[in-house]
Amino acid sequence: MRLTETALATTIDHPTRNSDNKPDYDSPLNREAFGENFKWGVATAAYQIEGAVNEDGRTDCVWDVFARKKGKIRNGDHARQACDFYHRYETDLEIAKELGFEQFRFSISWSRVMPDGHGLVNEAGIDFYNRVIDKCLALGMEPWITLYHWDLPQALEKSGGWKNRRIVEWFADYTAVCARAFGDRVKHWIVLNEPMAVAGLGYTTGEHAPGHTGIHNFLPVVHHLALSQAEGGRTLRRLLPDARIGNAVSCSYVYPHSQSAADVRAARRADALMNRLFIEPALGMGYPKDAFPFLSNIKRFMREGDRERLKFDFDFWGLQNYFSVVVQHSYLAPVMWLKEVPATLRNVPTTGLGWEVNPAGMYEILKQFSRYKGVRELLITENGAAFKDKLKEGQVADPGRQSYYQDYLAAVLKAKNEGINITGYFAWTLLDNFEWAHGYSARFGLVYVDFQTQGRTVKESGKWFAGFLKNAEL
């Protein structure tokens, strides 16, 4: 999910780009080149695919309420049925397996397993995820759980949601319930998904649920998310000492529009927000105030001992990279003092959402994150592209998505070959799904979904991916 001009992300030593936006690489692109142990997966999220929002004891999450408000979701779409994964998980998991994926990432709907957000546990909700996990294992796919992919129980929103510091305890309780229920079979855990999107889009610009606006929300929400990611990590470690525990952050390489001092400083501010804000406190470095002094106001929300509490030694960091950005200093944008120069005005390749296709940016961001001393292992936990796909005579021709995957994978391989410890890649995503405020208008799937009939059709890019994973000649 991208951030808008209001909340955007780097380093000054920005590389020059090739005219085609691709990093130079000479290795052939095939599965073997990534090594035998490299993990290949596909990523999903509960709210975007499950549907069944009122079934078996699930209560509203903030997105159910947000989608009911006029004008919040494109075309008035909602996720009441979404991809109906709740009822179709078996065949959908079989499709993922047929495509050759060996890792399946999904998230738990908090209000499905804890309808009040804390306290009472809904066994029917737990049973659903047990079925998903067991089916993955039966197919020989490793289940990866994301604990929080944006669907906060509405019951907790009523008590202030991420603005209320008590959420750190609520989140730890919920984490413990999931660890006890699923930890016997699930070895890979991701605590938060893209916390920056929650703070920026959910509580500052209001483009996402719960739709709060105002910069005054930003810092307390950031702090409570950052405390929760560490607390979630500690809870998992205590209950599941052998689990692999990670956190998934959005990241975008930031280029200054020009080399002027003002643009370079603007790029550093954007980088602090987009790339550094959640990893650095976990690594014990504090918030990146050096590049963005506004962040020093976060001390108003800090209590004694918080600097320690913010730390957690994650086994891996999941990077979610889709595009890079170019930013420019601007007097018109108070607080950030910058604006994004949209890809559409720069004559560069873009996806259907206007996001810049820049595989070189993937390579740069991997290098940037690999420079942190405390980072043990990196994975790409999401990467993919939305295009306006059409189903014609049983086929979906999507050459743009196929070349996007090829070029981004080549960039990952280049980074890996240069010694960066990157151990896996998850495509976003298996099925076309509910793309948040874009509703169903943005199709990211390797598999096309007809939302009238719930029919599934593997796109040409999906067939390409399957061939790649089977290491066939492509």
Q: List the catalytic residues.
A: 194, 382
275 sits near ligand NOJ (criterion: CB under 6 A): no
For ligand NOJ, the binding residues in 47-76 under the rule CB under 6 A are 48
Residue 132 to residue 143: CA distance in whole angstroms? 9
Q: What is residue 78's DSSP assignment?
A: -
Q: What is the DSSP string of 6-40?
A: T-----SSPPP--TTS-----S---GGGG-TT-EE
What are the φ/ψ torsions at residue 240 (nearest 5 degrees)?
-130, 75
440 sits near ligand NOJ (criterion: CB under 6 A): no
Q: Are 23 and 411 in contact (CB under 8 A)?
A: yes
Look up residue 189 and give its two tokens.
Answer: 């855990």
For ligand NOJ, the binding residues in 282-301 under the rule CB under 6 A are none
- Report, in Å, the least distance between residue 165 CB and ligand NOJ: 25
44 sits near ligand NOJ (criterion: CB under 6 A): no
Rounded-to-10 torsion of CA 26, 30, 33, 39? 130
Q: Of residues 255, 428, 448, 468, which one binds ligand NOJ by CB under 6 A?
A: 428
Q: Which is nearer to ligand NOJ, 251 or 266 (CB)?
A: 251
Q: What is the DSSP string of 103-151?
A: EEEEE--HHHH-TTSSS---HHHHHHHHHHHHHHHHHT-EEEEEEESS-
Contact pattern for ligand NOJ over residues 331 through 370, marking x by CB under 6 A: ----------------------------------------
Angle at the Cα of 139 from the Cα atoms of 136 and 140, rounded to 5 degrees: 85
Q: Of residues 59, 109, 193, 205, which one binds ligand NOJ by CB under 6 A?
A: 193
Q: Which is nearer to ligand NOJ, 2 or 17 (CB)?
A: 2
Residues present in the chain in total: 474
- Report, in Å, the least distance between residue 428 CB and ligand NOJ: 5
Q: Which is nearer to ligand NOJ, 1 or 113 (CB)?
A: 1
Q: Which is nearer to ligand NOJ, 408 or 444 (CB)?
A: 444
For ligand NOJ, the binding residues in 300-329 under the rule CB under 6 A are 320
- Report, in Å, the least distance between residue 429 CB and ligand NOJ: 7
435 sits near ligand NOJ (criterion: CB under 6 A): yes
Q: Which is nearer to ligand NOJ, 295 or 380 (CB)?
A: 380
Taking CB positions, which residue lies at the least distance from ligand NOJ?
1
Q: Which is nearer to ligand NOJ, 203 or 428 (CB)?
A: 428
Q: Are 209 and 65 in contact (CB under 8 A)?
A: yes
Q: Which is nearer to ligand NOJ, 122 or 205 (CB)?
A: 205
* Residue found by looking up tokens 């397996």 in the block: 97
252 sits near ligand NOJ (criterion: CB under 6 A): no
Nearest to 66 by CA among 57, 53, 55: 53
Q: Are 10 and 368 in contact (CB under 8 A)?
A: yes
Sign of the CA dihedral with 225 first, then 45, 369, and 255 last: negative
Sign of the CA dihedral with 224 first, then 230, 231, and 232 last: positive
- Crossing angle for the helix pair 167-182 and 123-139, to the nearest 10 degrees: 50
Sign of the CA dihedral with 380 first, then 386, 391, and 395 last: negative
Tell me how far CA of residue 471 lies from CA of 87, 100, 331, 468, in angstroms. 32, 10, 52, 5
- Report, in Å, the least distance between residue 352 CB and ligand NOJ: 11
Cβ neighbours, 10 Å, residue 452: 6
Q: Of residues 64, 77, 151, 194, which one binds ligand NOJ by CB under 6 A?
A: 194
Q: Of residues 3, 7, 45, 96, which one binds ligand NOJ by CB under 6 A?
A: 45
382 sits near ligand NOJ (criterion: CB under 6 A): yes
Look up residue 126 and give its two tokens.
Answer: 């737990």
Q: Which is nearer to ligand NOJ, 60 or 194 (CB)?
A: 194
With CB under 6 A as the rule, give the number of residues binding ligand NOJ.
10
Per CB under 6 A, residues contacting ligand NOJ are 1, 45, 48, 193-194, 320, 382, 428, 435, 444
